[in-house]
Chain A
Amino acid sequence: MNRQAQTVVLFLTGGGLLHAGFTDLYLRYVKAGLRPLLIGAGVVLIAAATATVWYGRKQSENRDPQDSQKAHTHREPRVSWLLVLPLLALVLVAPPAAGSYTAMRTGTALQEQPWGYPELPADGPLRLSVADYAGRAVYDKGRALADRELKVTGFLALGGDGTPYLVRMALNCCAADAQPVKVALSGDLPAVLQPDTWIEVTGTYTPKQAKDPVNGTAIPFLDVTATKPVKAPQDPYDEAWNG
Chain B
Amino acid sequence: MAISQEAGSKEAVSKEAVSEEAEPHSRHLNSPLLLTMLLVLAVAAQGPIRSVLAAPVTQSWMTVFVAVVVQALPFLVLGVLLSAVIAVFVPASFFARALPKRPALAVPAAGMAGVVLPGCECASVPVAGALVRRGVTPAAALAFLLSAPAINPIVLTATAVAFPGNPEMVLARFVASLLVACAMGWLWQRLGRGEWMRPPERPSYEGQSKGAAFWGSVRHDVMHAGGFLVVGAMAAATLKAVVPASWLNAAADNWIVAILALAVLAVLLSICSEADAFVAASLTQFSLTSRLTFLVVGPMIDLKLFAMQTATFGRAFALRFAPATFALAILVSALVGTVFL
Contacts and interface: CB of A to CB of B under 8 A. Distances in A.
Interface of A: 1-2, 4-6, 8-10, 13, 17, 20, 26, 28-30, 34, 37-38, 40-41, 44-45, 47-48, 51-52, 55, 58-59, 69, 71, 73-77, 79-86, 88-90, 92-93, 95-102, 105-107, 109, 111-114, 172-177, 179, 213-217, 241
Interface stretch (B103-111, B144-152, B239-247): B239-247
A29 B67 contact: yes
B298 to A, nearest CB: 11
A111 B162 CA distance: 9
B249 A215 contact: yes
A55 B74 contact: no
27 contacts: A1-B31, A10-B222, A13-B226, A29-B71, A30-B70, A40-B77, A47-B215, A48-B219, A51-B212, A55-B209, A59-B212, A80-B227, A86-B66, A86-B233, A95-B53, A95-B66, A96-B63, A109-B281, A172-B279, A174-B67, A174-B272, A176-B64, A176-B271, A177-B275, A177-B279, A215-B285, A216-B249
Given A8-B32, A83-B226, A93 B271 contact: no
Contacts of A177: 271-272, 275-276, 278-279
Contacts of A98: 60, 63-64
Contacts of B81: 44
Closest 6 CB pairs of A and B: A173-B275, A5-B31, A175-B67, A51-B215, A174-B71, A79-B227
Nearest to A78: B227
B73 to A, nearest CB: 5
Contacts of B62: 89, 93, 95
B66 A90 contact: yes
Interface string B160-179: 01101100000000000000
Given A69-B21, A77-B224, A82-B227, 18 more contacts: A2-B31, A9-B223, A26-B70, A38-B74, A40-B74, A41-B74, A77-B227, A90-B66, A92-B42, A93-B53, A98-B60, A99-B56, A102-B240, A173-B271, A174-B272, A176-B236, A177-B276, A216-B284
A20 B67 CA distance: 11
Nearest to A173: B275
Contact of B35 (A82, A84, A85, A96): A84
Looking at chain A's contact residues, the main secondary structure is helix
Contact of A30 (B71, B215, B236, B245): B71
Contact of A241 (B21, B76, B161, B223): B161
Taking each of A1, A8, A173, A216, which has the highest tally of chain B beta carbons within 10 Å of its own beta carbon? A173
B230 A83 contact: yes
Contacts of B2: none
Contacts of B211: 51, 55
Contacts of B78: 37, 41
B285 A93 contact: no
Nearest to A3: B219
Given A17-B70, A34-B71, A5 B77 contact: no
A110 to B, nearest CB: 9
Interface in B279-300: 279, 281-285
Nearest to B120: A173
Contacts of A216: 249, 284-285
A85 B230 contact: yes
A2 B219 CA distance: 12
A148 to B, nearest CB: 27
A86 B222 CA distance: 14
A34 B70 CA distance: 10
A73 B77 contact: no
B93 interface: no
A82 B231 contact: yes
B269 interface: yes
A86 B70 contact: yes
Interface string B44-75: 00100110010011011011111111110111
Contacts of A83: 223, 226-227, 230
B218 A106 contact: no
B63 A29 contact: yes
Nearest to A26: B70
Interface string B27-42: 0001110110011001
A29 B269 contact: no
Contacts of B227: 76-77, 79-83
A243 to B, nearest CB: 8
